[in-house]
């Protein structure tokens, strides 16, 4: 099983989930659970649209069960690409389909690497030979020697490095894992793909209390710029970050952060990629989190909510500017995946977006986000609940040993609290959410986007009871 301590199931049964409806799941014993994690932050429309989506899949199966996007198109991929482009902000108009989030991140990094090659950036500046042809355009061969250099280096991009943030999760395939900022899941696979540097995420909770928001933003931006300078700005192709970082617990950006990140990327001619595998398709109350924070990325990676996880499909969305060097007569993005743009997956994603529009899912999240936050805020009275952060239908609660000093739990205490108590207690109480200590210990709450006040109350009531017992346990 994925990311699972298998030994635990020597002594306990594997939970087997057999059906779902709305925000609820049912296990093989008939017990019901409120799914406060929407599968894996991903079943945005909830579990009740199987008939309608199944019909769309069946219709597509009958018409054309599979065909490829390698040199061919088919109607569903064309329609879905157009739909995604119309929902994506600004000139993010070009769509490349893949099978999930890791592949999307992997593809984005490859796209960024090849972008600079395709744009014709000179790979070995300074090697230009005497007698260079006057007026040659950047990247054009000026002499025979130069032509050989350009050709020989076409497969060795000089801009290949990426910058991401500490504790950020970006997937598990080797490229995506290399961008990942979680030491524990990187360590068994090192050495990873060079060279990624990780800078601070936007965790405000453990910053000095006297620091202003503007100072915090400046600290983050200075650090980002210093990292790029240290790596060599003309070796960096990608800055890859989530609009709101999930791992570590819903780190929202401070005021001015994204404007500053965009400016730094522009200053050093680096592509900015927004990892919206979680935040797109309504989670933050917008089709894309980039719109919510006016991020203006060059690339967006998405997956989960694109189909509400009724299908395995992801997408890389790029601006016209990023794709421009790939549009020449003999150029191409040298990348492909058999199942990228699979017609049945596309049909499902199209139906999901149709349902989201019809049911007013985005409007619902915006209308209810304040109520969700204020309901969850009741939990701040519990001794171990230190912080509540997030936006839209995307929240985390940070658990602390001492609320006044914000002291966190030790590794052993986390083990006792999260794995020894909370995960099982929540599950026993009929709720699925995630107790996570990839950073500081947090509870992640991210229900289907069809949740309403009844579900907010139930989540808060179950968490209230379990966390109160958890507080007592840690004081004992
Ligand atoms: C921000 C982010 N990027 C990438 C991924 C990887 O997606 P997948 O599990 O579909 O490969 C995830 C998965 O949770 C994610 O949260």
For 433-450, the pLDDT digits (tens) are 989 888 899 999 999 999
Between the CA of 209 and the centroid of ligand 1 the distance, in Å, is: 32
Q: What is the pLDDT of residues 371-391, one digit of tens each?
A: 999 999 999 999 999 999 999
Between the CA of 34 and the centroid of ligand 1 the distance, in Å, is: 22
For residue 26, the surrounding DSSP H or E stretch is strand 24-27
- In a mutational test of the pocket of ligand 1, which residue from 100, 106, 108, 171 has the highest number of ligand atoms less than 8 Å from its CB? 171
Nearest CA to ligand 1 atom 14: 171
CB 264, CB 221: distance < 8 Å: yes
Strands 236-241 and 299-302: unpaired
Between the CA of 302 and the centroid of ligand 1 the distance, in Å, is: 8
Nearest CA to ligand 1 atom 2: 170
Whether 258 has a pLDDT exceeding 90, the answer reads yes
Of the candidates 10, 400, 440, the residue with the CA atom closest to the CA atom of residue 201: 440
Token pair for 219: 């600290």
Token pair for 419: 């794995």
Strands (DSSP E) contained in 333-449 are: 385-391, 394-399, 431-432, 434-436, 442-445
Exposure string of 404-417, with b = 16+ CB inside 10 Å and e = fewer, is eebebbeeebbebb
Average pLDDT of the residues in 263-284: 98
Q: Tell me the pLDDT of the chain averaged across its residues.
A: 93
Better-scored residue on pLDDT, 9 or 148:
9
Between the CA of 380 and the centroid of ligand 1 the distance, in Å, is: 29
Q: What is the DSSP string of 300-367?
A: EEE-GGGTTTSS--EEEEEEHHHHGGG-STT-------TTTT-HHHHHHHHHHHHHHHHTTHHHHHHH
Nearest CA to ligand 1 atom 7: 101
Whether 130 has a pLDDT exceeding 90, the answer reads no
Residue with tokens 């009740």: 48
C-alpha–C-alpha distance, residues 36 and 229, integer Å: 42
Between the CA of 154 and the centroid of ligand 1 the distance, in Å, is: 30
Nearest CA to ligand 1 atom 3: 170
Pocket of ligand 1 (CB under 6 A): 40, 100-102, 105, 169-171, 242, 246, 275, 277-278, 303
């Amino acid at each position: 099983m994925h990311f699972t301590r298998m030994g635990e199931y020597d002594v306990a049964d594997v939970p087997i989930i057999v059906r779902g409806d709305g925000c609820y799941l049912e296990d093989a014993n008939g017990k019901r659970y409120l799914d406060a994690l929407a599968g894996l932050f991903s079943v945005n429309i909830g579990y009740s649209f199987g008939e309608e989506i199944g019909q769309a899949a069946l219709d597509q199966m009958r018409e054309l069960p599979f065909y490829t996007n390698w040199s061919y198109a088919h109607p569903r991929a064309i329609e879905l690409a157009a739909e995604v482009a119309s929902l994506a902000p600004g000139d993010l108009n070009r769509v490349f389909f893949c099978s999930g989030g890791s592949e999307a991140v992997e593809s984005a990094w490859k796209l960024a690497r090849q972008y600079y090659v395709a744009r014709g950036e000179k790979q070995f500046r300074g090697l230009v030979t005497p007698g260079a042809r006057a007026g040659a355009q950047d990247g054009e061969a000026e002499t025979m020697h130069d032509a050989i250099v350009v050709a020989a280096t076409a497969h060795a991009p000089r801009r290949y490095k990426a910058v991401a943030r500490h504790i950020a999760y970006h997937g598990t395939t080797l490229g995506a894992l290399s961008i990942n900022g979680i030491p524990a899941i990187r360590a068994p696979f090192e050495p990873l793909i060079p060279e990624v540097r990780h800078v601070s995420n936007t965790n405000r909770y453990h910053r000095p209390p006297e620091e202003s928001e503007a100072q915090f933003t400046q600290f983050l931006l200075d650090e980002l710029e210093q990292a790029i300078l240290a790596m060599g700005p003309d070796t960096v192709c990608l800055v890859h970050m989530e609009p709101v970082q999930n791992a570590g617990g819903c780190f929202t950006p401070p005021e001015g952060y994204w404007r500053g990140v965009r400016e730094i990327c522009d200053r050093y001619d680096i592509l900015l990629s927004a990892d919206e595998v979680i935040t797109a398709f309504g989670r933050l109350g917008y089709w894309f989190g980039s719109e919510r924070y006016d991020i203006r990325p060059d690339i967006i990676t998405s997956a989960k909510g694109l189909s509400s996880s009724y299908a395995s499909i992801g997408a890389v969305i790029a601006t016209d500017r990023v794709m421009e060097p790939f549009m020449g007569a003999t150029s191409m993005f040298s990348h492909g995946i058999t199942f990228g743009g699979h017609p049945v997956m596309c049909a499902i994603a199209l139906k999901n977006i149709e349902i989201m529009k019809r049911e007013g899912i985005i409007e619902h999240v915006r209308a209810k986000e304040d109520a969700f936050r204020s309901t969850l805020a009741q939990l701040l009275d519990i001794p171990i609940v230190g912080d509540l952060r997030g936006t839209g239908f995307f929240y985390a609660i940070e658990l602390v040993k001492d609320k006044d000093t914000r002291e966190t739990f030790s590794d052993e205490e986390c083990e006792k609290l999260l794995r020894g108590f909370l995960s099982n207690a929540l599950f026993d109480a009929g709720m699925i959410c995630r107790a996570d200590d990839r950073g500081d210990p947090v509870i992640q709450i991210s229900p289907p986007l069809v949740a309403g006040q009844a579900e907010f109350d139930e989540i808060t009531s179950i968490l209230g009871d379990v966390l109160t017992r958890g507080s007592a346990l840690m004081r004992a």
